[in-house]
Amino acid sequence: MTGGGDSFRAVAGGPAHHIPVLGSRVVEYLNPQAGKTYIDATFGAGGYSRLVLALGSRVLGIDRDQSAVANGMGLVEASGGRLTLTEDTFSNLEDVIGVEQVDGLMFDLGVSSMQFDQAARGFSFRHQGPLDMRMGGEGSSAADLIAVADEPDLAAIIATLGEERHARAVARAIVKARSEHAITTTTQLADIVASVVRSKPGDIHPATRTFQALRIFINDELGELVKALAASERVLKEGGRLVVVSFHSLEDRIVKSFLSERSATRGGSRHAPEVSRVAPTFTILTKRPVTADDAEVSANPRARSAKLRAAERTAAPPRKTMPELLPPLPSLADVMRGR
């Protein structure tokens, strides 16, 4: 991402190298105003925060990755007090902001390019590194998971979260391999998966879906998303905007289902007219997901699978219950203790 005028350079301290996916569309739907407060719930390299700060707004950035927060301190200084960074999961955003309500909330889901590029983090099968994948550095790693998970659980995780058609074969190969030696590196696991998942020239790497599934499961990414969506209903002011950029079909499905349920007016029918109607808490702004155009995909290939959905908070009180949005999988704790 390069500059957007003097105001941008004054805030950002010069041009940034990170290119936020669908950045201009995020700003369009968030509609940030000078002096108002917005949450960048997945701060990462700060791309969206820079765009919002350049418009004179205040930003509260949240990231569970300690290195992302540390790397963002230069932007905190350059913002003149308009950016605050907190190391936490975005499911805790209510605790992070306290009793204050905000004017907008943005999410860029999944793993960041910075995390992929750091071999020591263990996210990428393209780099030799420890099989870690933890975004926050705490709890069980991917190596811990595949060392103890039974074959049916592994297959379910890989099939559901990775949408891998050969999940059973992959799980079987992992269990067989670990009986002979510990699987502790990214390349070890990638080679095991590639031995049973064949690919043609031009296809994605055979290990892509398995790595994706393990990362999502280890970090409880879908559970975090559901909690954060529920919290968004409570922290947004009337007229506040929610903007979510997702890269995985399961994430997008959860966001779509949540907004569809929260924008509907539920209530009585001709069979039970006395049932009171429940007012919608959101108005959907994107009837269909917004995607990147050819020019952006050419400049930033990561944008190819991105989908943006946005909604505006109504005056209705937040609801006390959430629809069932998560796929039926055991918890990481259950898997680690053998259920």
CATH code: domain of residue 60: 3.40.50.150
Residues of the chain with confidence (pLDDT) below 70: 1-18, 111-127, 266-276, 339
Residue 265's pLDDT is 75
Residues 229 and 205 in one domain: no
Claim to verify: residue 109 and residue 236 sit in the same structural domain: yes
Q: Which tokens in the block code for residue 215?
A: 């990362």
pLDDT score recorded for residue 120:
47
Do 166 and 205 lie in a common domain? yes
Q: How far apart are CA 266 and CA 283, in angstroms?
A: 14
- 208 and 251, same domain (yes or no): no
Enclosing H/E stretch for 12: helix 6-12
On whether residue 47 sits in a domain, the answer given is yes
The string of DSSP codes covering 96-109 is HHTT--EEEEEEE-
Whether residues 289 and 243 share a domain: the answer is: yes
Q: Does residue 336 belong to any structural domain of this protein?
A: no
Distance between CA atoms of residues 45 and 16, nearest Å:
9
Q: Do 212 and 297 share a domain, yes or no?
A: no
Last residue of a domain, one of 196, 218, 240: 218
Residue 144's pLDDT is: 95
pLDDT the model gives residue 126: 65
Contact, 315 vs 238, CB < 8 A? yes
Residue 334, domain member (yes or no): no
Last residue of a domain, one of 218, 243, 262: 218
Asked, for residue 155, whether it belongs to a domain, the answer is: yes
Residue 329 maps to a domain: no
List the CATH number of the domain containing 198.
1.10.150.170
Give residue 205's domain range.
137-218
Question: Do residues 10 and 153 both lie within one domain?
Answer: no
Q: Does residue 178 sit in the same domain as residue 42?
A: no
Residue 279 in domain: yes
- The verdict on 182 and 255 lying in the same domain is no
Contact between 314 and 279 under an 8 Å Cβ cutoff? The reply is yes
User: Which of 203, 218, 233 corresponds to the end of one domain?
Assistant: 218
Domain-embedded: residue 164: yes
Looking at residue 106, what is its pLDDT? 97
Q: Does 120 map to a domain?
A: no
Q: Are 207 and 241 within one domain?
A: no
108, 249: one domain: yes
Query: Is the same domain home to 13 and 107?
Result: yes
Q: How many domains does the chain have?
A: 2
Q: What angle do CA 287, 293, 297 make, to 5 degrees?
A: 125
Q: Residue 272: its pLDDT value, please? A: 53
What is the predicted pLDDT for the residue at 116? 43
Strand residue runs (E) in the chain: 37-40, 58-63, 83-87, 102-108, 236-246, 282-284, 307-313
Take residue 220 and report the two structure tokens written for it.
């409880």
Side chain identity at residue 132, one-letter code: D
